[in-house]
Structure 1
């Protein structure tokens, strides 16, 4: 009994901490655009950006961000995502832009490079995305703006531009310095005018440090200082990230509070409303999603608006426990599965249905299909936990142009993620990027 009491007490304290974090941030909307470009057509390919983008997007989602994600984006796709991000940032309290891939500076202006861009002369820079435009989009967010560029790699295409540029043009190494506007953090993977390594592991040295620290419950300025320090130490003191901060007060992405603001003038306390904090507490309970969390809500707010919802969630969880596989059973979904992909018409791209086979071994799903005649390939991978809820990664090369977004050339690389839910013998999912597609999984 004492052990059970201790567990309940810890759950209650955890719920209380989450409740307190929800109260000051109830209107806190966080949006992020994460791009990883590595499969370049006209210059050196980069191995890590796709991994960097996938891992950063997952980390930011855990920190409460709505994430727009793009991997190996062509010019039109990159423009489309930045436009969507600009609209989202205008409605957000916090906006973050992360980019991993090739970039360059020309006459002091920084440019980000889509995978299909060429650079024969200055006019081709119109195919790139200007960092200044991204900074302007970020400024629409109300409280905090963050610009992260892991893109200070050496760009071979810059040599083409040097040969065609006028004598007065300035083409430097790496990126030029960006001063952070008020309320903004700017972090580059290395100092302005320098180049950084892509790295030999899954992630670049900078993104490795970013992933290590970004979810820590530290003040955001300290988080980025720790990132810079880690990169400097791990590189043998050869790579020092460029960091510019212009923020007032303190902000925590994963701490006890959000923005620290000046206290309001003291006022006479109004008559206490027993249900005043019910909504904030419900959001905290719902984010935890356990029976103990919902029971704690009922104990505190039994006569308030969300009490019936809490009772319903408790009952549903009890039913789920009866039907669900044993916790930690990684082999529940093992076996052969049939996968059906259905994509509707999207813009100029025609809809299609595609079937392939998948194998799940120790909870790891792998599906692979290819059509040699059209260079169309597809592979899907991911780990399915005991509760069946997962995010899968899909990669491949395009087939006939009529069925691809922006009518891409056959054989062009693409990648996207799939949010999926598996039961014992069935599953469903949806594609997250570029076009609407649904997935059906049936166990044989």
Structure 2
């Protein structure tokens, strides 16, 4: 009896010590739940989701700030104040943001929707919403150990009558291209719609609450379990995805578990077909959802084409291919790029947006961006303001090679450099080509002394599609992107 009691005490003590080591770094979180929308139908679950996630994160050692039903100004202010808190905590800080509410994409950009939004036309939405790009840029503007963003924001389009050219769900955001130390988790795959759920919490939040309480598992494994649970709860209709550029381990609870699994080896479609053949469809589906690669989905969709899960897997794969092609078109951002997308996907829900952007760019020269060679690893290249770019160093001439100075005085000559004036004929079309501005990628650094931290409107940094900034490219996060 005594030995049994002593063993229980030792186990409890080890768990407490493990929790202490897990919370060694500073942990701060901002949790936002948007339920009480004023001009569109309310969402019942985000407020509940925010409350439950706040408790989970508190139990995981986070200092949590919770906010609900925020207007646009309030949402920006909350993010700004949170960034200030991260800066005050120091560089050894894990910064986490959880958002539940409406989100959508317009012209390849992702937006979070405040409760006071009331657009009269599609062009009003970007003005009244908050760009995901701006939130991510604000978080990376201060030094931190890592940034974790969890978005349960891909619900149905709240503006179907006026938002005719926005695609479904959210656009791709890839954490691997840009500053290291970022983990992004989305409640469903790019271009898809997440369910609000019939219970007290959404399927995504319910799965997160369960997986987040597991002891000693890395964050990548946590969200693999979230992916599996949501896919099962929705009968394959919804599959979360994530993308990571983390360079350090993170666990919500407990110390690392011994015997970590080696990284999975990428397999071909033929190898997946061989490994899945003969397995029950439900078991095979769990395997490919856990893996999350398009090769696994291709093999499964071929083997189980006549089953409901096989049909959903084929839909997932087709949407994946379409969203990667759309992301590439938005990155290039030329009329030719959008024409290429339309040629491949003329009936896509993004076709109207592609036609609009092609028309907008029809008079601009197709200047292809400089792209790294195929197969090259993503490079985190920090571009600076053009005014700070230093010219390439020139080779120094040896003294013996330097040309002799001409000592003979040469009288200055007056040269009229004005070109001859050309009279414009009636009916002439005048087309002005403007070179696109240099793209900038924001590299995290400490905030300047005496400068406030804020969230602003504009380009640069992260992007779904990324026409204006850094987190772009063919995402290959867990879940297939």
TM-score, normalising length: structure 2 = 0.48
Which of 11, 16, 19 is equivalent to 1:18? 16
| Offset at residue 159 of structure 1 (A) | 3.5
What does residue range 39-50 of structure 1 map to in structure 2 within 5 Å? Answer: 39-50=36-47
What residue ranges of structure 1 are gaps of 5+ in the alignment? 163-169, 259-444
Cα distance, 1:256–1:155 mapped onto 2, change above 3 Å: same
From the two aligned structures, give the one with the greater strand fraction. 1
Distance 2:166 2:231 in 1: 26
Who is 1:183 aligned against? 181
2:87 equivalent to 1:86: no
Mapping 1:351-370, distance limit 5 Å: none
* Contact 2:112/2:132 (<8 A) preserved: yes
> CA contact under 8 A between 2:21 and 2:255: conserved in structure 1?
no
Equivalent residue number for residue 68 of structure 1? 65
Task: Provide Cα deviations, 1:243-268, integer angstroms capped at 9, x if missing partner.
Answer: 2122234222212159xxxxxxxxxx
Alignment of 1:103-114 (within 5 A): 103-114=103-114
Which residue of 1 is the match for residue 162 of structure 2?
160
> Whose helix proportion is higher, 1 or 2?
2
- Within the candidate set 165, 169, 173, 2:168 is matched to 173
Post-superposition offset of 1:125: 2.3
Distance 2:18 2:193 in 1: 43
2:136 alignment counterpart: 135
Residue 298 of structure 1: aligned partner: none
Residue aligning to 2:270: none
Q: Deviations over 1:374-433 (max 9, x none)?
A: xxxxxxxxxxxxxxxxxxxxxxxxxxxxxxxxxxxxxxxxxxxxxxxxxxxxxxxxxxxx
Please give the per-residue CA displacement for 1:114-159, whole angstroms capped at 9, x wherever unaligned. Answer: 1111122424523322111222233345322211111111123254
Cα displacement string for residues 68-89 of structure 1 (whole angstroms, at most 9, x for unaligned residues): 1111222232222111111123
CA distance in 2, matches of 1:24, 1:15: 14
Show the counterpart of 1:97: 97
Report the CA distance between 1:215 and its aligned residue.
1.8
Aligned residues of 2:22 and 2:253 also touching (Cα < 8 A): no
**Which residue of structure 2 lines up, in the alignment, with residue 59 of structure 1?**
56
**1:280-429 matched pairs, under 5 angstroms:** none
Contact 1:95 1:141 in 2 (8 A): no
CA contact (8 A) 1:104 1:158 kept: no
> Equivalents in 1 of 2:78, 2:70: separation in Å?
9
* Counterpart pick for 1:38 among 19, 35, 38: 35
Task: State the distance in 2 between where 1:32 and 1:141 align.
Answer: 15
Which 10-residue stretch deviates more, 152-161 or 11-20? Answer: 11-20
Would the alpha carbon gap of residues 23 and 208 (structure 1) be closer, same or farther in structure 2, given more than 3 Å must change?
closer
Which of 209, 214, 218 is the equivalent residue of 2:212?
214
Name the SS of the counterpart of 2:119 in structure 1: coil
Count of aligned pairs between the two proteins: 248
Report the CA distance shift for 1:23/1:157 in structure 2 as closer, same or farther (over 3 A): closer
Residue 24 and residue 36 in structure 1: after superposition, are their counterparts in 2 closer, same or farther (change >3 A)? closer
Shift, 1:199, TM fit: 0.8
Find the aligned partners of 2:18 and 2:227 in 1 and give their Cα distance.
31
The residue number in structure 2 matching 1:243 is 242
Give, in whole Å, the separation in 1 of the partners of 2:225 and 2:256: 20
Q: 1:6 Cα deviation (Å)? A: 4.0
Match of 1:146 in 2: 148
Cα distance change, pair 190–23 in 1 and its aligned pair in 2 (3 A) = closer
Q: Tell me the SS of whatever aligns to 1:160.
A: coil
State the SS of the aligned residue for 2:226.
Answer: helix
**Using a 3 Å threshold, how does the CA distance of structure 1 residues 180 and 189 change in structure 2: closer, same or farther?**
same
Q: Would the aligned equivalents of 1:89 and 1:137 in 2 still touch at CA under 8 Å?
A: no
Supply the RMSD in Å over aligned alpha carbons.
Answer: 2.2
Aligned to 1:232: 231
Higher relative contact order, structure no. (Cα contacts within 8 Å, ≥ 6 residues apart): 2
* Distance across 1 between alignment mates of 2:138 and 2:220: 21
State the match for 2:478 in structure 1.
Answer: none
CA contact (8 A) 1:102 1:151 kept: yes
In structure 2, C-alpha distance between the alignment counterparts of 1:72 and 1:103, rounded to whole Å = 14
8 Å contact from structure 2 (residues 23, 61) kept in 1: no
1:167-187 CA distance string (max 9 Å, x none):
xxx521111111114222211
